[in-house]
Amino acid sequence: MPGSREIRLQDCEFVAPAGWSVQRQADHIRLQNMASGCLILVIEPQPTSGSLEQDARAAFDLMYRGWAYQKAGEHAYVLSKGRTAQGLDYTSMEAAMSATTADGRYHLEEGLAVVILAGTSIVIVAARHNSSMLGHDRCTTYEGWPRFFSSFTVNNATPPAQTDDPATRIIGRWTTTESGASGEYVFAANRRYRLAGALGTTYTTSEHDHDVIYAATSAFEGDGSYAVSGNQLTLSPRAGVPDHVPFRFVQVNHGGSGWRDQLWLSRKDARGEYEVRYDRQ
């Protein structure tokens, strides 16, 4: 393309997770969680095969040559595809892996290979999480890997034109269930939405010689109008102030079972930033 240039490693920018070491080499950037040993490697851009899924599988297989999947069937691995916050197409492959080394030691890891298309090149980001170490827990919070990936940009890479309309794609029913909470958004074609959900909590009291566990469920609901602009979703409830929420679409494929849509909403509270995943129903 006129005016374009080859993408290089120095074009890759990101926010490193707090407390991680960062080492820059000629052909890769190495980030390491000093508490758990978890690694993130950003590899020098290289030509794409023409299929991001094939590229992601090849990168993952190279990372884990000689290892085995910890699970089988649909639970063996997950393929994901979507667009980065910058708007570049990406595909990733992730799985829980295990291996026994020659000295008899057993290793467990959660691996992830992401390939990001930048022009005719791909940037490979490989993450190897040491799931057997307690310090790994911090990698899965938003301040770890999720924020790193959200911040990842490639200078001089032009995002491709949008091929689908987010305002049309969001129409439908989306649900989430996680950590005792469940919720559902319904986005209608007339730009109205409905929200319903429940939050479950438990607490324990001691009575004489035994403990009693109590469970409580709180329901919530709401409705109003919504608008979509770029990667911003504006929710205007019937009563209250509008809520501006960054969002992204992801397609996932569990163990080759077929592609399914997900909607990820970015949120922030007193504890910090986080994302909530909703699955299309």
Q: How far is it, in rounded angstroms, from Cα 251 to Cα 258?
A: 10
pLDDT digits (tens, 9 = 90+) for 166-207: 999 999 999 998 766 789 999 999 999 999 987 655 455 555
**DSSP assignment string, 119-183:** TTEEEEEEEEE-TTSGGGHHHHSTTTHHHHHHH-EETTPPPPPP-S-HHHHT-EEEEEEETTEEE
pLDDT digits (tens, 9 = 90+) for 89-142: 999 999 999 999 888 889 899 999 999 999 999 999 999 998 777 777 778 777
What pLDDT band is residue 264 in, cutting at 50, 70 and 90?
A: very high
Residue 102 pLDDT:
82
DSSP H or E stretch at residue 5: none
What pLDDT band is residue 219 in, cutting at 50, 70 and 90?
A: low
Query: Domains of the chain (ranges plus CATH)?
Result: 9-154 (3.40.1000.10), 166-280 (2.40.128)
